[in-house]
Structure 1
Amino acid sequence: MDTTVFLHWLQGAMASSEQTTPKRIIRFHQQSEYRQFIKDWSELPDGKAALKAVKQMPIIRAISCRLPVEETLARFSTGVWIEDDRRITIHAATPKSLLSEKGIPWGVQHVKAPQAWGMTTGHRIKVGVIDTGVDFSHPDLRQSLSRGINLLNRSMLPHDDNGHGTHIAGTIAAANQMQGMIGIAPRAQIYPVKAFDHNGSAFVSDIILGIDWCVRNRVNIINMSFGMKTRSKALLTAITNAYNAGIIVVASSGNDGKRRSVDYPARYPQTISVGATTRLRRVAPFTNRGTHIDIYAPGDKIISSWLRGKYHEMSGTSMATSHVSGAIALLLAYKPGLSPADIKWILKRSTQPLRGGKVQRLTGELDIMRMLQAADR
């Protein structure tokens, strides 16, 4: 492909696009062509300024920008793949406000995290939370947070303007046992990656940028408490690259109560797909389920940290996913060097049986003590 011709065409197409023009992801077949394209663009007289309107995604040799209908890209189809840069949403129900929370939340107790703390607390394990950001001033999270990144505004810290990311971070690694709550892995480090806006919405390209950042910053685990109904090859490529780099990607199955289907990216085999359970060890009515689920974890009426130092109760497969991410942090601190495939195998063979129908026999619920014992075998 002639990258110079493509570059000039793209400049013209972007100049005629408007705020309502759909965003698209353009992936280059060849790494060399992607690099040449970025180099040529940056060397144009106004190239650096124009590139600000484009998201560069080196992890998948791609860019994202607003472009007219893809038919206009047909003549370049031998050199690039094109897909819509779709919206993706967080997986949680409406929160219920609480004034305070003391001690160990029921989900943390239920999966037997406290019994494991004599052996492992997740010390120094890095958990990337691609979400709405985090409340840096929350007393239960202060010891557990690294700087992270704000992909919506690079000049700012990833401050949470929604609450969902703070809730996820609390279940994974809250550490304020004396006055507040404690999470699954209280010595793990949360790396907040703000890709979602205050409405809990993000573009696939922002998620990919978040994965890229996590790979470059060598996190051990990526928590993905979000999903969409449609497949994205670009997102799959980014997740595969993270998987091949040894990063464990944990994803929520979705909250539509579907019996034979889960959302993407949880549907990809390179992730650990998580469904939600209730206090009674039953599959929660709202959770998507079926053969794509790798493990279930508490996701119903989960209390965790919230904005302005508060606490909220939330339900959703998002909450279940954060329990599993915390458990994997405990496992990695206990047995360093396990691969994503090792971890999935250990989790799946160490679950507690669920109560209820036949389908639930295919997989079970997270049990941290059984998980650690399975890792020793």
Structure 2
Amino acid sequence: MQAPRKAFVLYPQSNHQVKEYFVKSGRLAGALCVSLLAMAAHAAPPVPSAQKASTLQFVPFEAVVKFKGGTVHRMAAGESLQSVSTPLRLGLVKADASTRTASSDPTAATLALVRQLRARSDVEYAHPNYLFQLSATANDPLYPQQWHYPPIQLPQAWDITMGSANVRIGVLDTGRTTHPDLASKWHAEEYNAAAPGTSAMDTANWRHGTHVASIAGGATNNGVGTAGVCRNCKLVNIKVASANGQLSMTSVIRGIDWAISKNVQVLNMSFESQQPCSSTNATAVREAVARAIANGVNVVAAAGNQASPVTNTTPATCAGVVSVAATAPGNVLAPYSNYGSVTLAAPGGGGVHQPPYSGYGMGVGCPDDPGSSFYPYSEGVLAAWTTTPASGNAHCYRYLSGTSMSAPHVAGAIGLMLSVNPTLRPAQVKQLLTGSASPLPACNGQCGAGLLNVAAAVSNARNVSTGPCGAGMTRSCVIDAIGQYRRSDGSLVESVLAYGQLWTFDQYGQATGPARDLRSRPHYASGPCAYAPTGADCVIDSATTLDYPGFGAMDSVTAYGRYWNFDGVGNGLAGNGSSLRSVPRYANGPCAYAAANVDCRLDTRVLIDAPQWGGLVESISAYGRFWNFDAAGNPLAGSGSDVRTVARYANGPCAYAAAGSPCRFDSRELQLVPGQGIIETITAYGRYFVWDEFGNPMPGNGQALASVARFR
């Protein structure tokens, strides 16, 4: 393959020389579309934006204003404004009739009025005349009997969101019935993990799954029965109980893995085994839960009903799980609930009565059904119920008590949180839940962080950083690699690797889901991540993607002194896992600068197929130097030079390097944008740099990574 001509890829030539080459070759520089650029952050406007204002309600053409001084000021004639005086220097200012008549956008006109008032020297403050509204409640006739929602601030959370149909809550339980208050809530896909390939309907006597699902996300505001926590979320039925009611470990594991494959974001597991998750007997479940969390799934588990420390309960004690104790009316620990090192508590119902009545409450609208074990107690959680086949599978409602009931309150709350911020990672969700919980002094420290506070959790979730820089917490933001892959339809997929996780963004810079642990990708787990120290992040030094004619998509990574190449479906190619030093061009190039007996590490590596450069080019930076190779692996002009010899680098990232130390790049990408040329992006020293194909800096060049919206 012919070597590329005078391309600017890390060549130590001036911008003038690069420009001259591209002009002569007929290539024109184009502005990069906004979707590929990290735009600079702007200060918040002094009044609500029109977009935000659309979510707020206020009286159009009116503003509340407080004047300075001791008297109420009148608006001057000719300002097209009038004031309605009140004591305490307050005024209700209205736009005049002509302004109201002429305006086609009342929201914009109102905000303009506020800005005009704020500009006056005699105004202390001004804002729209906002409208208040009652906290959202449900019109379901049994909602007033759902005592368990006000204590967790659920009505206030509904003022923020009622959930999104894009959020899927998986219910690993006994299956579903045809209960009408849940009929519209089930996702079309379901799975019988106990007997794959057969119906996932609940045909047994104990309709536990129906009750649990009704709490997490039962239909609400439909004038029927009870209300669910996340009324607009979709429920995914994953039956893990056999026909005789047994929940085997293999069924649970199959159910978890199926949920991962279907992009379920929340899993509710209202069951337990009385052994710690650390036990060798629970290894398979522990690994399945870890797979789910690594894939961005939030796992919620009941703490158990043995009235003992939770430490001997699985899956509640598995790492990363949100474990939920139960509270009784009065916000006290329920007498049956396990306690101790749980995540938090949620209503589960009260009253442990004499055996065999424990937790079994009365039915509402149910026929007599001995198989349902109805008893005349109403301290439990009220939700949907279906009676046994012997009584005709009657649909009704009932009270039940148990940590099985407390867990779906939290699963539904997580659904609401993901509805306002779908890119939250499981660790962030767990942190938000604990940080927003209401204290429960009566629990004496045995209820984890306290009582679930849905409103606070949802409110706090809206503004949490979910990008790579957020994952860095207090560390400076370091991105290991950026890969940009263009699909056949021209749309862009950007992959960002940092802190052992993978983020993916679409062509508009929007995250396509939460970050996933690199170990959740099987070819990474068995490849580079197998060399990561136990308990440490899997760190990729460089990653590059390429759609090469005649081969297709390829993912190529280096880490721990080795290299791996994978095809578009993750199959490894020949030589995977070999030392970088076994490749002659690396041994004679970057690896020659590595200390003896130390892994050879590449800072960045890019593959790009650029016709204007003659075809395939491999570009590498390491040890403060750069190398370029053609398709045959031959070094190109300038290879081995210090990156500071390139003007745009010397004036860009290298200006932030410590004096006397090599200039190092964290990530680098070259993207051939159809009709716009080649765009180069680099991250280094906590900053983001971008140049057009002539080496000219583009908007956002040099800004802090934490100020780039998708990286926050």
TM-score (norm 2): 0.38
Question: CA separation in 2, counterparts of 1:260 and 1:118?
Answer: 34
SS in 2 for 1:118: helix
SS in 2 for 1:218: coil
Q: Distance in 2 between matches of 1:193 and 1:260?
A: 25
Query: SS of the counterpart of 1:331?
Result: helix
Distance 1:262 1:368, change over 3 A: farther
* Rounded Cα–Cα distance in structure 2 between residues aligned with 1:169 and 1:260: 24
**Conserved? CA contact 2:266–2:299, under 8 Å:** yes
Count the aligned residue pairs. 276
Contact preservation (8 Å) 1:172, 1:183: yes
CA 214–317 in structure 1, closer or farther in 2 if over 3 Å, else same: same
The match for 1:166 among 197, 210, 215 is 210
1:351 and 1:180 map into 2 onto residues whose CA distance is 28
- In structure 1, the partner of 2:238 is 193
Whether 1:214 and 2:300 are equivalent positions in the alignment is no
Query: Could you tell me which residue of structure 1 aligns to residue 142 of structure 2?
Result: 102
Once the two structures are superposed, the pairs formed by residues 1-377 of structure 1 within 5 Å of their partners are 102-103=142-143, 105-124=146-165, 125-135=167-177, 137-146=178-187, 147-160=189-202, 161=204, 162-177=206-221, 178-230=223-275, 231=279, 232-259=282-309, 261-291=311-341, 293-300=342-349, 301-307=380-386, 308-360=394-446, 362-375=448-461, 376=463
Query: Could you tell me whether the CA contact under 8 Å between 1:101 and 1:311 is conserved in 2?
Result: no
CA distance in 2, matches of 1:324, 1:139: 23
SS of alignment partner, residue 122 of structure 1: coil
**Structure possessing the higher radius of gyration over alpha carbons:** 2
| Aligned residue type for 2:285 | L
Distance 1:312 1:357, change over 3 A: closer
What 5-or-longer segments of structure 2 have no aligned partner?
A: 1-139, 350-379, 387-393, 465-712
Query: Residue 107 of structure 1: SS of its match in structure 2?
Result: coil
**1:157, CA displacement in angstroms?**
3.1
Paired amino acid for 1:242: A
**Cα distance in structure 1, aligned partners of 2:411 and 2:454:** 11
- One-letter code of the match for 1:138? H
Higher strand share: 2
CA-CA distance at 1:255 after TM superposition: 0.3
Q: Distance in 2 between matches of 1:286 and 1:199?
A: 25
Looking at structure 2, the residues matched to 128 and 326 of structure 1 have their Cα atoms a distance apart, in angstroms, of: 10
> How many Å apart are 1:356 and its aligned residue?
1.2
SS state at 1:170 partner: helix
**Deviation per CA, 1:115-163, whole angstroms, max 9, x where unpaired?**
222321221210111100011x211101111231122344443112221
Name the % identity: 32
Q: How many Å separate the matches in 2 of 1:235 and 1:260?
A: 17
Residue 252 of structure 1: how far off its partner (Å): 0.7
- C-alpha deviation, 1:374, in angstroms: 2.6
> Given that residues 299 and 317 in structure 1 are in contact (C-alpha distance below 8 angstroms), is that contact kept between their aligned partners in structure 2?
yes
Give the deviation of 1:363 after TM superposition: 1.9
Contact 2:346–2:407 under 8 Å retained in 1: yes
* Letter paired with 2:347: P
Instruction: Calculate the aligned-residue CA RMSD, in Å.
Output: 1.8
Q: What letter matches 2:346 in structure 1?
A: A
Query: C-alpha distance in 1, partners of 2:288/2:310?
Result: 25
The answer as to whether partners of 1:349 and 1:374 remain within 8 angstroms in 2 is: no
Pairwise CA distance, 1:262: 4.6
